[in-house]
Structure 1
Amino acid sequence: MKGFRYRQSGFTLIELMIGLTIGLFILLGVVMVYVSSARSQATSESLARVQESGRFATYMMAREVRQAGYMGSCPGSVNNLLDTSSSHYVEAFFDLDSPIRGWTGSAGALSSHLSDYLRGDVLLITHAARSTNLKAKGATPANAASISFDGDATLAPQGSILLISDTYGCDLFQRANSGNGALARGAGTGGKQPGNVPPKTPWSHDYKDDMEINRLNAMVFYIGEGPGGEPALKQYLVDPALGGGKTPLGIDTVLVEGVEEMRLRFGIDADGDGAVDTGLDGFVAAKDVADWKQVVAVQIALLTISGGNVLAGVEQELYWPFDSNGNSTPDKVIAGDKSMRSVFTTTVSLRNRLP
C-alpha cells in the first residue's frame, strides 16, 4: 500500500502578528475593565467611609449637645462646693450655669489640656446626665459631712465630681472617700483635684431620700491626632477620678477617624423667648458670643476625608455652609490632594434651654 505523505503547515509571520495584535487588544480590554472596576470599588468604599464617619460624628456630638446643662431636678443655679482656689480648678469644666462654650480656630483656654490639637473650632459641653444608680439612705441635714446611700458605687469612685439635686436646689462636690455606704465631701480626695471647700461648709439645704445623685460630665470635642497621626474627631473627657496624684482632670479618646476639620456657630437667644434670634446675629462664631448663658442651639459642620488617591483626574467641589468667621456666606473647601471629602452639617437645640 502506497504511504501517504503529510504536508507540514503552520502560521505565517503575518498571521502570527495579526493574532498577537488581536490578543493584545483583548488583554487591554480586560485590564481596562479590571482597573475601572477597582477604581469604582475604591470610590464606593471611600464614599461609604466619609458618609459613615460624618453621620456617626454628628450623631455623637448632637447627643451630648442636647443634654448640655442637665442638672437633674435642680430648679435653679448650682451651689458649687468645689475648691475654686485650686490651681487645677478650671471654671469652664464645672460651670453648669454656662454648660456650652466654644473657641474659634484654636483651643483657646484649653490649650494646656489639648496637647494634640490640630485645627478648627473647639466645643465644650457640660451636663450631669450620667446617673450613678445610687439611692440616698435617709435624710441628709445641711450640716452633714456625707450622704448615706444604698447601691454599688462603681459609677461614683473616689475623685469623681457629683451633683446631688432635688426640687429645692442642688450641690456640686468631689467625692473624697471610696467604697460603698457613704459619699463624703471632705477636703481630701485621694490626691485627685480640685478638691472641696472645708467640710464644715453646709449643703445648700436639707435633703430627703428622694434626691438624685448624678455624675458630672464635661467633655471637649476637637480635631486632634488619630492613631496614625492623621486628623480625627477626639473627645477630652474631664474626669478627675481617672487621673492620679495631681494630674488634672481627664483623658482624651479618638471618637471618629477621618474627620479633618470642624466649624461651629452658636444660636443666641438675647430676648429670652427660648428661640434663636432672627437676623444676621442669630448664629455667630464662638469668638462673637458675648454671654454663653444665651446660647440655645449649635450648628456643627464637619469635614470628613477618606484618604488615598481615589479622585485622580477629578476635581471635587465642596462648600462649608458658613465661613471660619461664622458668616453665612458659603466657603469653598480647598483641598491639596485627591482624597474624597464630604461636609456634614447639623443644627442641635439645647433641650434644657427650651421653654
Structure 2
Amino acid sequence: MSGNRHVLAYTPNEQRGFSLIELMVAMVIGLVVLSAVTGIFLSSQRTYRTTEGLGRVQESMQFGFELMARDLREAGGNPCDVNLPIANVADQAGANWWTNWAQPLRGFDNGALAGSAAATDAVQLLLMGEEVVNVVSHVGTVFSVDDTVDFEANDVLMACDMRQLAVFRAGGVDEGANTISHSHTGNCSDILNVLPAPCDGTAPAYLYAQNSVISGLRGVRWFVADNANGGRSLFRAVNGGAREEMVEGVQNMQVQYLQGSDSGSYVDAGGVTNWQLVSSLRIVLTAQSSDAVGTDDSQLVRRLEHVVNLRNRTP
C-alpha cells in the first residue's frame, strides 16, 4: 500500500533586534531630548532664583524706605502748631544735636556724617515721639498729666499749647501720681518761658494750662554704613544711641533737597542755604542682593527713587 507522506514544516517566527546603528541613533535622540529638558529646567530654576532675589531686594528697599519716609514726613512737627515760638532749655551748650529744635532737618554729603560710609549721604532730623499725654495742671515745675505712658527721667520732652512750645529734660516721673517734673540739672532753666529768653532767668515762669500737650522728642539719623557681614546696610540711630540695622544690602543713599515750594531744582546738602525752607527731599537708594542670583550669576543691583514731602512745611 502506497501512501503519501505529508511532512509538516515548522517555521518559527522570525525575531529581530535593533541593529547597532539604530541603537546609537536612539541614544543620540534620547540624549538630545534629555539635554533640552535639563536646559529648560536649569533655565527655569535660574529665572525663579533671579525673580525671587529681585523680589527680596525690592521688598527690603521698599520696607526701609517706608520707615525712613515716615520719619522724614514728620520732621519738625509737634502736637500743637509748627509755627510756635520755642523755649529750648535742654542742653543749651549744644552738646547734643537731638535737642536742637531750631534745626529739625539737616543733610550730610559724601560720608560727612561720622560713622557713615564714604561717598554716601545721610539725613538727620527731629520729630515728635509716639507718646502724647494731656496736661491736667502745671504748678511750679511739676506737670500733672492724664498718663505718664513710657516717659522716664532724663527724657527730652516737649510741652506746647497754642502760644508756645518748650523743650526740656524730664526730672522725676511718678507713674503712680501721674506727674512729670521739668526740674533737671541738664536744663538751663526751670522757667519755660520764651520771652525775653528761655535761659536768662528774668522772665516770669510760664505755666501750661489744662489740655496742653506733652510729647517725646526724637532725634533720628538715617545713613548707610558697613555691616557685620562684610557688606553695607541702611542704619537708623535715635537720640545718639546705638545704630539699628534696618535693611541689609543697601550700598548707597543719595539725597537732594528742595528749598521752598516754588523752586524747581533739587540740590545737594552743600547747596542748601536755609534748612528751614526745605520742603521736600529726593532720595535714591541702591541695593545689592547678598547672593549671585542674576541671570549671569552676578549679584542683582537695583535703584529705588522717591520724593518725600515734609508735611509741616508743605502748604
Instruction: Provide the aligned C-alpha RMSD in A.
Output: 2.5
Instruction: Give the aligned residue type for 1:159.
Output: N
Cross-structure match for 1:295: 278
Amino acid at match of 1:210: N
Contact kept? 1:177, 1:183, Cα under 8 Å: yes
- Identical pairs, percent: 25
Equivalent position of 2:246 in the other structure = 255
Query: Hey, what's the Cα distance between the residues in 2 that align with 1:155 and 1:224?
Result: 31
Q: Does the aligned pair in 2 maintain the 1:118–1:225 contact within 8 Å?
A: no
Structure 1 contact 159–174 (Cα < 8 Å) conserved: yes
Q: Residue type of the partner of 1:155?
A: D
Q: Give, in whole Å, the separation in 2 of the partners of 1:25 and 1:206.
A: 88
Q: Within the alignment, does 1:35 sit opposite 2:42 as a pair?
A: yes
Supply the AA of the counterpart residue of 2:255.
L
Amino acid paired to 1:90: N
Structure 2 residue corresponding to 1:99, chosen from 79, 87, 104: 104
Amino acid corresponding to residue 100 of structure 1 in structure 2: L
Residues 6-155 of structure 1 aligned to structure 2 (within 5 Å):
10-74=17-81, 75-85=83-93, 89-91=95-97, 93-108=98-113, 111=114, 114=115, 117=117, 119-128=119-128, 130-138=129-137, 140-141=138-139, 144-151=140-147, 153-155=148-150
Please state whether the residue corresponding to 1:234 is helix, strand or coil.
Answer: strand
Q: Structure 1 CA distance, aligned partners of 2:112 and 2:170?
A: 29
Partner amino acid for 2:121?
D
The yes-or-no answer on 1:341 pairing with 2:309 is: no
Pairwise CA distance, 1:157: 1.9
**Structure 2: gaps of 5 or more residues:** 1-7, 194-205
Instruction: Give 2:198's aligned residue.
Output: none
Number of aligned residues: 293
Taking the aligned partners of 1:308 and 1:294, their CA distance within structure 2 comes to 42
Task: Output one character per residue of 1:202-250: Cα deviation in whole Å (capped at 9) or x when no partner.
Answer: 1112211111111002111111234533322111111xxxxxxxxxx31
2:192 to 203, 206, 222: 203
Partner residue in 2 for 1:265:
256
SS of residue in 2 equivalent to 1:251: coil
Alignment partners' CA distance in 1, 2:241 and 2:108: 19
The CA deviation at 1:7 is 7.3
**Residue identity in the other structure for 1:203:** L
CA distance in 2, matches of 1:213, 1:132: 8
What letter matches 2:281 in structure 1?
Answer: V
User: What is the aligned counterpart of 2:162 among 152, 157, 167?
Assistant: 167
Give the Cα separation in 2 of the matches to 1:13 and 1:132: 85
Does residue 184 (structure 1) correspond to residue 181 (structure 2)? The answer is: yes
CA contact 2:142–2:179 (8 Å) conserved in 1: yes
Alignment check: 8 A CA contact 1:303 1:343 kept: yes
Q: Could you tell me which residue of structure 1 aligns to residue 266 of structure 2?
A: 283
Q: What's the secondary structure of 1:22's corresponding residue?
A: helix
1:72 match: secondary structure? coil
**Partner amino acid, structure 1, of 2:310:** L
In 2: Cα distance, 1:253 partner to 1:69 partner: 22
Could you tell me which runs of 5 or more consecutive residues in structure 1 were left unpaired when the two chains were aligned: 189-194, 239-248, 270-274, 314-336
In the TM superposition, what whole-angstrom CA distance separates every residue of 1:267-292 from its partner, at most 9, and x where no partner exists? 113xxxxx1423xxx31101122221
TM-score where L is the length of structure 2? 0.83
Once the two structures are superposed, residues 113-148 of structure 1 have per-residue CA deviations (whole angstroms, 9 ceiling, x without a partner) of x3x6465100112111x242423222x25xx22212
Q: Partners of 1:311 and 1:349 in 2: how far apart?
A: 34
SS across alignment from 1:209: coil
1:102/1:123 contact within 8 Å kept? yes
Deviation at 1:264, TM superposition (A): 0.5
Checking the alignment, whether the CA contact within 8 Å between 1:267 and 1:276 is kept in structure 2 is: no
Q: What SS does the corresponding residue of 1:173 show, helix, strand or coil?
A: strand
Other-structure match for 2:237: 236
Partner SS state of residue 121, structure 2: strand
Residue 53 of structure 1 contacts residue 259 of structure 1 at CA under 8 Å; is this kept in 2? no
Max radius of gyration: which structure?
2
Could you give the per-residue CA deviations for residues 283-325 of structure 1, whole angstroms, max 9, x where no partner exists? 1101122221121111111112223333354xxxxxxxxxxxx
What amino acid is aligned across from residue 258 of structure 2 in structure 1? G
Is the 1:276–1:296 contact (alpha carbons within 8 Å) kept by the matching residues of 2?
no
CA separation of 1:308 and 1:71: change in aligned 2, threshold 3 A = same
